[in-house]
Structure 1
Amino acid sequence: MSRSTTPTRRPTRRSVLAAGAGTAGALGLSACGGFSTGSDDPPSGGDDSTLTMITWAGDAELKAFQTLADGFKAQGGPTVELQVVPYSEVLTAVDTGLRTDSPPDLFRVSYTDVAAYRAQNVLADLKDASSLEKSFLPAFWSAVSDDDGTFGVPHHTDTSMVLVNTAAVASAGLGTLPSTLDTAWTWEQFLDAAGRVQPSRADTYAFAVNWQNAGAYRWLNFVDQAGGRLLTEDLKGVAADDPGMLKALTHTRDFFRRGLVPQASSSRGQPASDLFVNQTVAMVFAGDFLLEEIDGAGFDYQATFLPRDVNASADLGGNALVAVEASPRKDAALDFLAYCAGAEQMGAFCAAATVLPTRTDVDPATLDYTVRPDLMPLFVEQATTIREQLVQQVVVPDFSAVNGQLADRLDAIFLGSDDDRAALAQLVAGVQSVLTS
């Protein structure tokens, strides 16, 4: 695979998400096969001091990563060569390098996949982790840490809110949208609002939820909002009889049973953001990193908070940067991670990529966001509802396989006709089947 610093065809935000469905499968294969311990040979395409980093990136992110690489070199560090691949190919590229004794020095990885690599002893333990920890929000630090150490830096986060097509809902008389967490719609209020949205044409629906592709885990937002959990407290099994999980399943199935969402927006369906951009839906659950793409659609939209039930709860989005233990340049790679995690560098990256910082000392209000700076403070507030008990469940080593099961089972459940308890039993059996003891 080419080690050039620019890809032949840079992925757009939408293509990055659309490609994401293959990620869980790629990691599942690597976890079954195990990893090599690496060798002392430098990666092809660079000299002995060059660091190679595998990542996915849209145009804005690629420029931001190159700025980090340039800044690191300017401070005396080695060259960092960016190998940019589509999101669906990142884990395959990493796994291939590990198996063939030519691993990258660093790679970008979703928080939900960190633990799987940690379990295979692939990741290098972060130097001076204790001095860095105090600067980071606990939920994100816990996503890269366990009892044995800290295996990466929580580089940034993103989370979902409800985006609303202003013109599409004006006739529904919804008035001013909730603008604080305290006034966020309850589940019942959101369904009432969705039911009042009048379709402007035959193929228009009230909303779509962003649980497609690799995003099936976002269904767990609803479970957590209902006070439930997918995994037992010891994280080793499924909480089969959890009433909150049943409540969430009934609630989300009602989206389809009431005709509020397109059938094509199931967990194996069309990306929710596409449906919003082409105005098939009037509202969409979407992450802040999609604002640049949505802003180019040519219509006015607003944002409001995720609906709440017992709890307000949001999904853990964003990514970590990790170094490979087997790399002969491990120390330099860890230095680059520490550089990327610096307050100034993190702030600049987040502003350029329309994402949120994970450091407590980087105030998003001071960042020069170029896309919808009026909405970014709302996403910041929404991110405060990312709950640590949900984070713990989505960063277990088996979670890539769990996420794949959620996608498959939810698709059958949303579009099926079994009663809710029988449907939940199918989901529980599917998730339990991929959990290791």
Structure 2
Amino acid sequence: MKSINRRDFVLSGLGAAAGASTGMYWGAASAQSAVNLTMTSWGSNAEIAAFNALIEQYKARKPNVSIKLEVVPSGQYYQQLDTRFAGKQAPDIFRAQYQRIGRYAQSGAAIDLSQYLDAGYGQDFLASVWRASTFKGKPHALPHHTDTFALFYNAEIFEKLGIDAPKSLDRAMTWQQFIAAAKLIKEKAGLNYAFAMNWQNSNAYRWLMYLYQHGGQLLDSDLKAPQINTKEATETVAWTQSWFKEALVPPNTSLKSSEPVQNLFATGKIGMLLHGDWQIPFIQDQAKFKWGVTYLPRDVAMAADLGGNALAVSRDSKSADTAADFVKFMVEEEAMRSFVTKAQFLPVRKSLKDKGLNYDLRNEEMKVFLEQSATVPEHLVSTIVMPSWDRFNARLADELELAFTSGQDPAATVANIERHVRSALLV
């Protein structure tokens, strides 16, 4: 008589039934083949800790899956990622800013996730970030969180100088009031510089919120032609250039620098900081003075920056189905709640925004960021999520750097930007 091996037994109807009744069904999850995934990201200590905690939760759900988190400094991240894609050795899962998703989708580096998602999957996500994660109507990443900017301030300096921090969005400081406060801080608080802006490592898109505040925009309403060579844009360049001309900000904090401006604030070297919500854990830990958060300055309008990141599966992944499953887990409601409350980000699921969140740190300050996030212009979002945005961003950074550090004329700056944008739109 032919012997019956384990595989033959399981595949027979009797074996399957017996295995189901005895708990000895060898096709169960415990016998699944091991899957080893890599995920790459940058991030603060709080972000990395939040990622690792969720990786452990997923491994408890899927014991056969191992996920190695590779952490890269933010200033080197995209260069390293692009090099790995060029060598066909990209990680299975990668984190990317919404402004970068279009490029990775267009090149095929980030795969289309449609096959892994149910119909209507994107309906609970904020429309702006879902649109930012899609290319030609197909999701090539899943929105993980968002963030925006507000104004961190040294409350002890504000109190000493009689500067009132606005308590509501409609009372945010005007551009003129903000500059007046900056000059007062520099003159009376014994500091060499008053404030700094986080747009280092050529993150030029963060300048756009000031352009929108002043009534301008980079592209026309159809996103098909430049609309930057205007009085509003020239005046916006001049205003931000004045920060450097009048030595209100440190000269090494322009766009092409890599200066960690949060350090300047936390050590008391500046009195104000234009930065994002994810800096709260660092400042809470490092600052030895009383501080707070208030709203961005405003001009003819209020406008904020769209920040945040999505998670994508790479075309180099040998286990794309498992990688996609992990990404879906990371953006589930409870996983998202855990990440954003620990790492101090804003959720991108409508259900979480509606329910409200209790953050691990500075809940009241996080409410300021939540309010501020509602002021991101839709046209700004549509502009910076274009697949060609990286080309715009690089040229915008070049020209703004010349204006801020070399004194290039604002009118010449916007004329140059217009020429670069027109060329980029033709590619």
Q: Find the counterpart in structure 1 of residue 95 from structure 2.
A: 108
Following TM superposition, by how much is the alpha carbon of 1:427 offset from its aligned partner in structure 2, in angstroms?
3.3
The 2-side partners of 1:157 and 1:98 are apart by: 25
Structure 1 unaligned regions, length at least 5:
1-46
Q: Distance in 2 between matches of 1:103 and 1:263?
A: 36
Maintained 8 Å contact 1:172/1:198: no
Report whether the alignment pairs 1:157 with 2:146: yes
357-366 vs 104-113, which moves further: 357-366
Q: Residues of 2 paired with 1:149 and 1:310: CA distance?
A: 36
Contact 1:217 1:403 in 2 (8 A): yes
Structure 1 counterpart of 2:304, from 301, 308, 314: 314
Change (3 A) 1:88 1:256: closer
Deviation at 1:205, TM superposition (A): 2.4
Post-superposition Cα deviations, 1:226-265, rounded to whole Å, max 9, x if no partner, equal 2211133343443243333223112212323344333333
Residue correspondence of structure 1 range 339-350 to structure 2 within 5 A: 339-350=329-340
- Partner of 2:52 in structure 1? 66
Q: CA deviation at 1:106?
A: 1.0
Does 2:53 align with 1:83?
no
Could you tell me the percent identity over the aligned residues? 34
Q: Alpha-carbon deviation of 1:326?
A: 4.4
- How many angstroms apart in 1 are the aligned matches of 2:244 and 2:80? 37
Counterpart residue number, 2:402? 412
The 5 A counterparts of 1:206-285 are 206-269=194-257, 270-285=259-274
* Secondary structure at the counterpart of residue 205 of structure 1: coil
| TM-superposed deviation, 1:435 | 4.8
- What letter is aligned with 2:47? E
Letter in 1 for 2:273: V
1:49 corresponding residue in structure 2: 35
Distance 1:84 1:197 in 2: 37
- Residue in structure 1 matching 2:85, options 85, 98, 116: 98
Whether the 8 Å CA contact 1:164–1:301 is kept in 2: the answer is yes
Deviation at 1:329, TM superposition (A): 1.4
Gaps of 5+ in 2: 1-32
Q: What's the TM-score once normalised by structure 2's chain length?
A: 0.84
TM-score, normalisation: structure 1: 0.82
Q: Which amino acid aligns with 1:76?
A: K
The DSSP-based 3-state class of the residue aligned with 1:212 is coil
2:159 aligns to what?
170
Which is richer in helix? 2
SS in 2 for 1:50: strand
Tell me, in whole angstroms, the C-alpha distance in 1 between the residues paired with 2:425 and 2:184: 42
Corresponding letter in the other structure for 2:288: G
Query: 173, 178, 192: which one pairs with 2:180?
Result: 192
One-letter amino acid matched to 2:100 = D
Greater CA drift, 282-291 or 240-249? 240-249
Tell me which amino acid in the other structure corresponds to 1:63: A
- CA gap 1:180/1:203 in 2 versus in 1, 3 angstroms: closer
Check conservation: 2:229, 2:415, Cα contact below 8 A. Answer: no
Number of residue pairs matched by the alignment? 390
Q: Cα gap change, 1:162/1:328 in structure 2, threshold over 3 Å: closer, same or farther?
A: same
Distance across 1 between alignment mates of 2:292 and 2:89: 47
Match of 2:6 in 1: none
How big is the shift at 1:364? 8.5
| SS, match of residue 281 in structure 1 | coil
Question: Counterpart of 2:270 in structure 1: which amino acid?
Answer: V
Partner SS, residue 73 of structure 1: helix
Please say if residues 268 and 287 of structure 2, whose CA atoms lie closer than 8 Å, have aligned partners that are also in contact: no
Residue 299 (structure 1) aligns with: 289
Deviation at 1:416, TM superposition (A): 3.5
Conserved 8 A contact 2:251-2:405 = yes
8 Å CA contact 1:171–1:197 kept in 2: the answer is no
CA contact (8 A) 1:168 1:200 kept: no
For the residues of structure 1 that align with 2:34 and 2:232, how far apart are their CA atoms?
A: 54
